[in-house]
């Protein structure tokens, strides 16, 4: 399986004014922080809201979903004794809210799904995108991942003993994948795999590298912080490395106790 990457944008890369990315002021006001961050990243990735029209699949990934909204509704429910609750945080607590909002911005009816599989959520979304492209079901796919940090989540994970070696984190990354190579293509994904056993850097190279000068990004997620979709940042990193001249990057992530996942990003041609 192979697909081309036209653009990858992280939440930190978004430079455009949010008023241009999400023009509806009411919508912006209702959106929680993570929804706003993920949707703006997605819109920036496709080059503005009109870019949504060309998409034929919208695949999102999140380990925790819209935590702040879930927590807000839960808190209100307990404090208000189940009386007169505002439905907005409940509506927005749904895991597919971001995917739904992206479709809604331009009334795009295409395939739309959300993977919620802890640290594999992003790789699962990427696999789905690659299968759709391989099957000819889609040729212009938006794939993205997001997770948010909240004070409660931080406190609970701290009590569980997390953050001893890695700091807390959050973020959003979106990528546009295509079936056909074009002038916009910056790199290509040529492999994705899910493993049952750990590999060393050398084993990753032996098994997945096709070129002698390949770079291995090994457990790169750790530098982006402890959140389930941090692997999406290693995808952005691999694409950046290719844009900077690397010929091939093998990315291996074995997130705290989870089975490892691997993908390979290559230069074009």
Partner 1 sequence: MGIVVTGVGIVSALGVGVERNLERICRGESGISATPTLLRTANRLPVGEIAVTNEQLHSMLSIPQSEHLSRTALLGILAVREAMAGADIDYTRRVGLVSSTSVGGMDLTEHFFESFIEDDSRGRLRDVRMHDCAASTDAIARHCGINGYRTTISTACSSAANAIIAGAKLLKHNIVDYVVVGGSDALSAFTLNGFKSLMILDGEPCRPFDSSRAGLNLGEGAGYLVLQREEEACSYYCHLSGYSNRNDAHHQTASSAEGNGAYQAMAQALQMAGVEPQSVDYINAHGTGTGNNDASESAAFIRLFGDNVPPFSSTKAFTGHTLAAAGGIEAVLSVLSIVRGCRYPNLNFTTPIAEYGLHPVTAFEQAKIDSVLTNSFGFGGNCSSLLFTR
User: Residues in the site for partner 1, rule: CB under 8 A?
Assistant: 1, 58, 63-65, 70-71, 73-75, 77-79, 81-82, 85-87, 90-97, 99-101, 103-104, 106-118, 120-121, 124, 127-128, 131-132, 134-135, 152, 155-156, 159-160, 194, 228
Residue 29 CB, shortest distance to partner 1, in Å, is: 14
Residue 119 CB, shortest distance to partner 1, in Å, is: 9
Rounded Cα distance between 124 and 61, Å, is 8
Nearer to partner 1, 135 or 206 (CB): 135
Residue 199 CB, shortest distance to partner 1, in Å, is: 17
202 membership: H or E segment, kind and range:
helix 201-208
Q: What is the DSSP letter of 225?
A: -
Residue 242 CB, shortest distance to partner 1, in Å, is: 25
Q: What is the DSSP letter of 43?
A: H
Residue 217 CB, shortest distance to partner 1, in Å, is: 22
38 membership: H or E segment, kind and range:
helix 33-45
Nearer to partner 1, 68 or 127 (CB): 127
Q: What is the DSSP letter of 109?
A: -
Q: CA nearest 92: which of 104, 78, 108, 107?
A: 104
**Residues 6 or more apart whose Cβ sits within 8 Å of residue 100:** 94, 112
Tokens of 255: 């997130």
Residue 146 CB, shortest distance to partner 1, in Å, is: 14
Nearer to partner 1, 51 or 63 (CB): 63
Nearer to partner 1, 53 or 206 (CB): 53
Chain-centre distance for alpha carbon 28: 21
Nearer to partner 1, 7 or 119 (CB): 119
Nearer to partner 1, 14 or 31 (CB): 31
Nearer to partner 1, 33 or 205 (CB): 33
129 membership: H or E segment, kind and range:
helix 121-134
Rounded Cα distance between 236 and 233, Å, is 5
Tokens of 157: 């994970």
Rounded Cα distance between 172 and 169, Å, is 11
Residue 108 CB, shortest distance to partner 1, in Å, is: 6
């Amino acid at each position: 399986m192979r697909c081309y990457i036209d653009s990858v944008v992280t939440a930190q890369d978004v430079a455009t004014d949010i008023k241009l990315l999400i023009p509806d002021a009411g919508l912006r006001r209702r959106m929680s922080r993570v929804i706003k961050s993920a949707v703006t990243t997605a819109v920036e990735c496709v080059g503005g809201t009109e870019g949504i029209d060309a998409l034929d699949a919208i695949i999102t990934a999140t380990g925790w979903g819209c935590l702040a909204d879930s927590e807000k509704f839960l808190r209100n429910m307990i404090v208000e004794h189940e009386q007169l609750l505002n439905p907005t945080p409940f509506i927005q607590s749904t895991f597919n809210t971001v995917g739904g909002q992206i479709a809604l911005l331009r009334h795009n009816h295409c395939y739309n799904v959300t993977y919620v599989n802890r640290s594999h959520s992003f790789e699962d979304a990427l696999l789905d995108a690659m299968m759709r492209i391989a099957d000819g079901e889609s040729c212009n796919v938006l794939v993205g991942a997001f997770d948010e940090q909240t004070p409660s989540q931080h406190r609970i994970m701290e009590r569980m003993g997390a953050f001893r070696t890695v700091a807390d984190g959050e973020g959003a990354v979106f990528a546009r994948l295509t079936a056909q190579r074009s002038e916009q293509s910056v790199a290509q994904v040529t492999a994705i795999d899910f493993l049952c056993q750990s590999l060393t850097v050398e084993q990753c190279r032996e098994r997945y590298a096709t070129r002698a000068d390949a770079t291995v990004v090994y457990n790169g997620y750790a530098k982006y912080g402890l959140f389930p979709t941090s692997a999406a940042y290693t995808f952005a990193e691999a694409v950046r490395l290719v844009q900077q001249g690397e010929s091939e990057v093998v990315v291996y992530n074995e997130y705290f106790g989870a089975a490892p996942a691997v993908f390979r990003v290559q230069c074009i041609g």
